[in-house]
Amino acid sequence: MFAWLKKPASETQITHGQRLWLYVLAVIIMVLLVTPTLIVIPMSFSDSQYLEFPPRVWSLRWYEHYLSSPEWMLATWTSLKTAFLTMLVATPAGVLAAYGLHASQVRFVRAAFLFLITPMMVPLVLVAIGVFYVYAQIGILYTLFGLVLAHSILALPLVVIVIGSALKSYDMSQENAARSLGAPRWKAFVTITLPQIRFAVVTAALLSFLTSFDEVVVAMFVSGGDNPTLTRNMFNALRDQIDPTIAAISTIMICVTTFLMVLAQIFGQQRAAKD
């Protein structure tokens, strides 16, 4: 243990001992960040009518309540459908956009890129209000279509950035080689470029799924009626009655999200290892 403290931690010969304060600080920050999230997990297994910590009696009743409630099931189904469709829309659109930006030699490429990632920079509430008014005008408020569209706008910047960075380390002359060998451009893209950025594509797809699945602000405005998302219903439930069902659902969502994030990480790593 003490020997380890004296070992260099980096090329610059700083020892682990000298870095100790940094490690402690990192742990404190992580605890502060993660604890509030994790606290709902024990709360969800409580038998109490109210959210309480620590629970006095353990039970699965709130999970049962969630699974047997038609409203919660409808919301879950909506969220999953929306997230899945968002993934299907945003991933191909984003991949094509990133490819276009990468391959094109036009001068306004930079501007086009900034334009595509604006949804990431504008405050979400503004996007939500804007989308709400537009949807109200054209009558697609509370529809699955509208929801998917809005979420795709939010997911698109992520896809463009992830794919764009993957393409940076890809040698485009391979595609030219394929074309000179007789492949039309689209075929060169599908058979040569796409297989080599596949990990980035999977990562981007998972991220766009998550973007939609976790999203609450825009969903508050444009989901509802027949198509309420899980996040929206949770938010409303919190306002009306504080009920441990929320904790149960949160726990499930944390599990799903963590799982997908880990997947995305793994694919990201594979990509890094491949380069």
Partner 1 sequence: MRSQDSDALPISIRGVTKTYGAVHALDDVSLEVKSGEFITLLGPSGSGKTTLLMVIAGFTRPDCGSLKFGEREVIRTPPHLRDLGMTFQSYALFPHMSVAGNVAYPLKLRKLQKAEIAERVEKALETVQLGGYGDRRITQLSGGQKQRVALARSIVFEPRILLMDEPLSALDKKLRDQMQIELRHLHEKLGMTTVYVTHDQREALTMSDRIAVVNKGRIMQLASPRELYERPANRFVADFIGDSTFLPVERSGEQVSYGGMPLKFVQAPPDTPTLALMVRPERIVLSSEGPREGANNFAATAVEVVYQGDSYLLHARLDDGTLIALRGGVRGASLSALPNVGDKVTLTLAPEDTVLIDGSEA
Select 144 or 183, whichever has its Cβ closest to partner 1: 183
Separation of alpha carbons 52 and 204, rounded Å:
38
Select 6 or 187, whichever has its Cβ closest to partner 1: 187
State the minimum distance, in angstroms, from the CB of residue 206 to partner 1. Answer: 21
Select 82 or 203, whichever has its Cβ closest to partner 1: 203
CA distances from 89 to 56, 64, 151, 211, 220 (A): 46, 34, 10, 13, 21
Select 150 or 200, whichever has its Cβ closest to partner 1: 200
Cα angle: 82, vertex 222, 140; to 5 degrees = 85
State the minimum distance, in angstroms, from the CB of residue 130 to partner 1. Answer: 39
Separation of alpha carbons 80 and 101, rounded Å:
31
State the minimum distance, in angstroms, from the CB of residue 223 to partner 1. Answer: 41
> Is the Cβ–Cβ distance between 216 and 235 less than 8 Å?
yes
Closest by Cα among 138, 93, 137 to 116? 93
State the minimum distance, in angstroms, from the CB of residue 182 to partner 1. Answer: 4
State the minimum distance, in angstroms, from the CB of residue 164 to partner 1. Answer: 20
Interacting residues with partner 1 (CB under 8 A):
171, 173-174, 176-185, 187-188, 191-192, 195-196
Select 6 or 185, whichever has its Cβ closest to partner 1: 185
What residues does 8 pair with on adjacent strands? 15
Q: List the helix and strand counts (H, then E) for the chain.
A: 16, 0
Take residue 132 and report the two structure tokens written for it: 């709400």
Take residue 186 and report the two structure tokens written for it: 């689209």
